[in-house]
Amino acid sequence: MSSSVLAADPAGTTTLIPHVVGGARVDGDGRTGPIFNPATGEQTGAVSLASADFVHEAARIAQAAQPAWRATGLGKRQQVMFRLREIVSQRAEELARVITAEHGKTVPDALGEVARGLENVEFCTSLMHHLKGDYSEQVAGGVDVHQVRQPIGVVACITPFNFPAMVPLWMVTTAIAAGNAVILKPSERDPSAAVWLAEAFAEAGLPAGILNVVHGDKEAVDAILDDPIIRAVSFVGSTPIAKYIYTRAAENGKRVQALGGAKNHMIVMPDADLDSAADAAISAGYGSAGERCMAVSVVVAVGGVADELVAKIAERIPAVTVGDGTQPGVEMGPLITRDALDRVTGFVAGAEGEGARVVVDGRALEVGGDGFFIGPSLVDDVAPGMRVYDEEIFGPVLSVVRVGTYDEAVALINSNRYANGTAVFTRDGKTARQFEFDIEVGMVGINVPIPVPVGAFSFGGWKDSLFGDTHMYGPEAFNFYTRRKVVTTRWPDPSESQISLGFPTH
Ligand code: NAD
């Protein structure tokens, strides 16, 4: 596998990031979008943006390749997963640097993303187990029933910028393990990791045409949603687009799961260890510059803890080293684009006018150069009704909401439209158990600020954080990417009469 096209171009000349269709790199049919290094603000390349015709052709190629993959023995499919695991883990640093060059997150953080993606590859190495069917013997005299899981055919995976390797690995690995062919449409802002992964799959022995990477913007996505060959769509991204994908794909009769945005709250109870809670708020609020769907965005300080907690968070912020994510010792990189920087800056700038108090202003940070940097910000006295509370910021801004009681904290979270992740910090088991019972959120942490489920469970939020009913990766993903077929069998004695006009009751 050559990685020359995938690295940020050190000479600064424009590198075209190709599609991968039918096992080959393809330059596309004209339109391109710019790729930036967020740490320098420089354009480092361009990505082909597919037309609708290009998408439909890729779907036809996937459709032609899928029957042979479906017929491939499960043991052979498993071997592809084992080899993929070896390739990605041995070359994780290379993939991490591809991610950092376009996303901006630090290399150690990108390595963490690769490791979390690999969890699902490891889960899929047991695909023979996950695809097992059911059998009931003798449901009536001489009648048996069994159920098998069969692939859907061609499925599409549409992914966001913030985890350019992990989210594709969540989706495509399971879809392929289950016998489908895939059109992967990664974010057009950091598309190289998807190309790297497609070539890693090929090196692992996946036949051509089973994993196709088609880059693009709305035109490509709309073509996916309307293409009759594509039978299912997995999406992760912002809530407005998730809702759009869910609606249009469902109208076209497709199976669809669309994960949306988030506004994750972390409750700190009066009995909590405030040093641990402050450490957790820093790492979960500012890690990856807050561009994680499970990032903590709101700290809910219960009872009298707010003053001490805010002071502890504020005193830790200067120790967060912000800079180019390729440099050793840097803990927080830039935002993905200049637009994202302007947007996040706007939330901090507007907070005072809304009645909140900016305790630490990340706009004051100076990194130098034209990178898309803002430092960590801490905003106290935030309340619902303020933009800084109501909207998903997706940047390194922690808001603090002060409430009097546990019940007020729960009511606050349960009335939020988003319900991806949440956490409670407490030393009291009874409070923790009650929180787990009361809270209307899909993924819950007890003294764990980012409760991303391990690979043997599945990942998904509630309410406006998930449209559809199936979560990502793990067991639920094998349900999403397969159709169940139930077969009822009788081997009659040729001497028995088979004529009966009654409803079959066995
Ligand atoms: P996004 O919604 O802008 O883009 C996601 C995908 O949709 C991309 O592939 C993009 O090309 C495509 N897209 C964008 N605009 C479109 C349009 N108008 N029509 C059709 N397709 C379009 O999201 P993003 O900025 O790349 O990612 C950040 C968002 O993703 C945040 O809201 C974050 O919370 C969310 N996210 C959620 C989860 C989760 O698990 N719930 C995980 C990661 C990210």
Q: Which pLDDT score, from 0 to 100, does residue 498 have? A: 73
Which stretches within 360-505 are classed as H helix? 387-390, 406-414, 429-438, 474-480
Q: Which helix (H) or strand (E) holds 119?
A: helix 107-124
Q: Is the pLDDT of residue 403 over 80?
A: yes
Residue 244's H or E segment, with its range, is helix 239-251
Non-local (6+) Cβ contacts of 43 within 8 A are 14, 34, 35, 36
The protein residue with its alpha carbon nearest to ligand 1, atom 21, reads 218
Residue 124 Cα, ligand 1 centroid: separation in angstroms? 25
* 293 catalytically annotated: yes
Q: What mean pLDDT is reported for the chain? A: 95
* Ligand 1 neighbourhood includes 261 CB (under 6 angstroms): yes
Mean pLDDT on 375-383: 98
Q: Using the predicted structure, report yes or no on whether residue 3 has a pLDDT greater than 80.
A: no
pLDDT score of 4 more than 70: no
Residue of 157, 190, 235, 238 to mutate, ligand 1, most atoms within 8 A of C-beta: 238
Instruction: Return the pLDDT at 505.
Output: 72
Q: Which atom of ligand 1 is nearest to 237's Cα?
A: 30
Q: Tokens in use for 464? A: 């406006």
pLDDT over threshold 90, residue 36: yes
Identify residue 153 by its one-letter amino acid code.
G
pLDDT given at position 8: 37
Average pLDDT over residues 412-437: 98
Arithmetic mean of pLDDT, 301-309? 97
pLDDT at 290 over 80: yes
pLDDT at 280 over 80: yes
460 Cα–ligand 1 center, Å: 15
> pLDDT at residue 162 above 90?
yes
What does the pLDDT read at residue 6? 36
The pair of structure tokens assigned to 136 is 């009931």
Residue 144 Cβ < 6 Å to ligand 1: no
217 lines ligand 1 (CB under 6 A): yes
Tokens linked to 288: 């990856």
Start-to-end Cα distance in the chain: 57
- Mean pLDDT to the nearest integer, 435-456: 97
Both tokens of residue 6? Answer: 């995938």
pLDDT, one tens digit per residue, over 319-349 is 999 999 999 999 999 999 999 999 999 999 9
pLDDT per residue over 194-235, tens digit each? 999 999 999 999 999 999 999 999 999 999 999 999 999 999
> Measured from the CB, is residue 236 less than 6 Å from ligand 1?
yes
The Å distance, Cα 331 to ligand 1 centre, comes to 24
- pLDDT grade for 503, boundaries at 50, 70 and 90: confident
Please tell me the distance from the alpha carbon of residue 308 to that of residue 319, in angstroms, as a whole number: 18
Q: Give the tens place of pLDDT for each residue, 115-144.
A: 999 999 999 999 999 999 999 999 999 999
According to DSSP, the β-strands at 15-17 and 42-48 are parallel
Which has more pLDDT, 1 or 263? 263
The pTM assigned to this predicted structure is 0.96
Pocket flag, ligand 1, residue 465 (CB < 6 Å)? yes
Task: Report all structural domains of the chain as residue ranges with CATH numbers, in order of start.
Answer: 8-260+465-486 (3.40.605.10), 264-446 (3.40.309.10)
Share of the chain above pLDDT 90, in %: 93
Q: Which residue matches tokens 């045409």?
A: 209
Does residue 474's CB lie within 6 angstroms of at least one atom of ligand 1? no
Q: Which two tokens stand for residue 477?
A: 């993903």
Give residue 390 CA to ligand 1 midpoint distance, Å: 18
Positive or negative torsion for Cα 136, 139, 142, 143: negative
pLDDT, residue 5, reads 36
Q: Give the residue-averaged pLDDT of 36-51.
A: 97
Protein residue closest via CA to atom 16 of ligand 1: 218
Q: Say which DSSP state 373 is in.
A: -
506 pLDDT band, cuts 50/70/90, is low
Mean pLDDT for 401-410 is 98
Catalytic-role residue among 80, 293, 294, 299: 293
Residue 179 has pLDDT above 50, yes or no: yes
Q: Distance from the CA of 165 to the center of ligand 1, in angstroms?
A: 14
Separation of 158 CA from ligand 1 center, angstroms?
Answer: 8
1 pLDDT more than 60: no
238 touches ligand 1 (CB under 6 Å): yes
Say how many C-beta atoms besides its own lie within 10 A of residue 425's C-beta. Answer: 28
DSSP state at residue 229 = T
Whether residue 10 is predicted with pLDDT greater than 50 in this model: the reply is no
